[in-house]
Structure 1
Amino acid sequence: MAKYDPLCGHLRRQRQAEFELTFPEIERILGAMLPNSATRRQWWANVTDPDTTHVQRKAWREAGYDAFLLIGKDCVKFRRSG
Structure 2
Amino acid sequence: MGKYDPLRDYLRKLKTDEVELSFAEMERKIGYMLPKSASLPQWWANTTDPAATHVQRKAWGDAGFDAFLIAGADRVSFKRVQSTRSAP
Q: Same fold (TM over 0.5)?
A: yes
Q: TM-score range by the shorter chain?
A: over 0.9
Query: Separation in 2 of the partners of 1:38 and 1:71?
Result: 11
The residue aligned with 2:37 is 37
Q: Provide structure 1 residue ranges, at least 5 long, that are not aligned to the other structure.
A: none
Query: Scaled by the length of structure 1, what TM-score is found?
Result: 0.97
What code does the residue aligned with 1:2 have?
Answer: G
- 4+ long deviations beyond 6 Å: none
Gaps of 5+ in 2: 83-88
- Correspondence 1:4-15 to 2 at 5 A: 4-15=4-15
Which letter maps to 2:20? E
Match of 1:62 in 2: 62
Shift in Å, 1:46 = 0.4
* Distance (whole Å) between structure 2 residues aligned to residue 12 and residue 79 of structure 1: 12
State the alpha-carbon separation in 1 of the partners of residues 5 and 41 from structure 2: 21
Q: Give the drift of 1:76.
A: 0.2
Counterpart CA distance in 2 for 1:9 and 1:71 is 25
Secondary structure in 2 matching 1:33: coil
Q: Report the alpha carbon displacement of residue 19 of structure 1 after superposing the two structures with TM.
A: 1.2
How many Å separate the matches in 2 of 1:72 and 1:37?
A: 13
Partner letter of residue 57 of structure 1?
R
Letter in 2 for 1:64: G
Q: CA deviation at 1:51?
A: 1.2
